[in-house]
């Protein structure tokens, strides 16, 4: 699906300056499984403010910076309305939502069938995944003297399952673009998420699709590589890598800065830098898992396994897990207002934080789903 090319790419900066604003109050849902060719929307959100304040949410650390933007825009649009969000990881967010402890959960990958079953019990109605933030995942490293490293999916998989242990391993040197690098005889320090994380789940799904002959550890929110050390949250893994020469991790693109360098990924057509432009190229292949439903989980498997020239394939979409029908009208009203602002006024500022604003076609589907919440 087509996505806008905003200013503010992560790692290597893309020169683009498109703005995503809001559509009207009653957008028509797209009938296509993709959002190919969708232009930028115009206008500002019309929001029915009110309801519970503060609204409560918990989960994904990957979207925490985006949530802060959404909260600010929500406060501007709906004076006095507040949201408390705890960035504790996707696993905790789903558990807290299913336990009725928060009004919405944040997760970096669609809630599993088991999770949705638990959410449906909590809601006494179907629960929906509402995509709100698109972000690239960096294979971020800290290696003195090496500021441009290219890795293939196979090499990445071998690093994270312990098959490649040293930076001067011939397999790394052999990747096109690395021939002239002075790679040190230094152990690779793998840093993974110690908490349950949708980022981990997406990263392992990517390896399973792009390097299926090497990565046999499966997916899931717990890291299965069996090597290295863990750190809590996105800030935790980024801080650990910054402080350890020779370290490598997987982390949301917004955290790959100030000492954490994102590697280029070569899926077979040459190294591709992590930029919003290149993420947009990868998103052209995205489809939905449940066509015709307001549960808007995206099927990213085709993207992960693709070899589109110039496309950066390692990305995630964060979701807000919500009830289609809340037992409290005050909660329902506030959730709808917050998500409406997030999907419209809240999107433009995201590019400055390393995210990629959602395209109009997906935005229309999101607003249709939000409007259907009762």
Residue ranges at the known binding site: 60-62, 90, 108, 197-199
Judged by DSSP in three states, 66 sits in helix
Q: Is 265 helix (H, G, I), strand (E, B) or coil?
A: strand
User: Which DSSP letter does residue 254 get?
Assistant: G
DSSP codes of every residue in 110-161: PPPHHHHHHHHHHHTS-EEEEEEEEEEEEEEEE-TT----EE-HHHHHHHHT
- For every residue of 197-232, DSSP letters joined together read -HHHHHHHHHHHHHSTTT--S--SSS--S--SEEES
Q: Which helix (H) or strand (E) holds 234?
A: helix 233-242
Q: Could you tell me which residues come within 8 angstroms of residue 112 by beta carbon, excluding any fewer than 6 positions away? A: none
Name the residue among 151, 93, 164 with its Cα closest to residue 270.
Answer: 151
**Which residues, at least 6 apart from 230, have a Cβ–Cβ distance to it below 8 Å?**
191, 192, 193, 194, 195, 223
Contact 324, 123 (CB under 8 A): yes
Q: Are 319 and 297 in contact (CB under 8 A)?
A: yes
4, 18 in Cβ contact below 8 A?
yes
Neighbours of 80 (CB within 10 A): 8
The closest alpha carbon to 234, from 348, 68, 65, 104, belongs to 65
Burial class from Cβ neighbours inside 10 Å (0-12, 13-18, 19+) for residue 292 reads exposed
Directed axis angle between helix 198-210 and helix 90-98, to 10°?
120
Q: Which residues line the annotated binding site for phosphate?
A: 60-62, 90, 108, 197-199
Residues 162 and 168: their CA atoms lie apart, in Å, by 14
Cβ(220)–Cβ(276) below 8 Å: no
């Amino acid at each position: 699906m087509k996505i806008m090319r905003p200013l503010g790419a992560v790692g290597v900066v893309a020169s683009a300056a498109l703005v995503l604003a809001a559509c009207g109050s009653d957008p028509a849902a797209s009938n296509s499984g993709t959002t190919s060719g969708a232009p930028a929307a115009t206008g500002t959100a019309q929001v029915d403010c009110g309801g519970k304040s503060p609204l409560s949410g918990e989960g994904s650390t990957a979207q925490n910076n985006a949530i802060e933007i959404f909260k600010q825009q929500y406060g501007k649009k709906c004076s006095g309305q507040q949201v408390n969000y705890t960035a504790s990881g996707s696993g905790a967010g789903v558990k807290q939502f299913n336990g009725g402890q928060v009004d919405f959960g944040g997760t970096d990958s669609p809630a599993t069938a088991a999770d949705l079953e638990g959410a449906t019990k909590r809601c006494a109605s179907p629960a929906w995944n509402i995509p709100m933030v698109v972000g690239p995942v960096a294979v971020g490293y800290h290696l003195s003297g090496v500021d441009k490293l290219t890795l293939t999916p196979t090499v990445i998989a071998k690093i994270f399952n312990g098959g490649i242990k040293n930076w001067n391993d011939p397999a790394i040197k052999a990747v096109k673009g690395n021939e002239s690098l002075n790679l040190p005889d230094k152990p690779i320090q793998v840093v993974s998420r110690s908490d349950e994380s949708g980022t981990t789940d997406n990263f392992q799904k990517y390896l399973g699709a792009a390097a299926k002959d090497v990565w046999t550890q499966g997916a899931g929110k717990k890291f299965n590589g069996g090597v290295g050390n863990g750190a809590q949250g996105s800030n935790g893994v980024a801080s650990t890598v910054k402080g350890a020469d020779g370290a490598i991790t997987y982390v949301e693109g917004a955290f790959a800065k100030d000492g954490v360098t994102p590697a280029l990924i070569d899926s077979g057509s040459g190294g591709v830098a992590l930029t919003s432009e290149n993420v947009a190229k990868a998103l052209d292949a995205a489809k939905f898992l449940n066509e015709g439903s307001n549960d808007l989980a995206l099927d990213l498997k085709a993207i992960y396994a693709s070899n589109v020239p110039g496309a950066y394939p390692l990305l995630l979409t964060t979701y807000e897990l919500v009830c289609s029908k809340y037992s409290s009208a005050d909660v329902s009203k506030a959730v709808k207002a917050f998500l409406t602002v997030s999907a419209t006024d809240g999107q433009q500022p995201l590019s400055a934080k390393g995210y990629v604003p959602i395209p109009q076609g997906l935005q229309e589907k999101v607003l249709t789903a939000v409007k259907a919440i009762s």
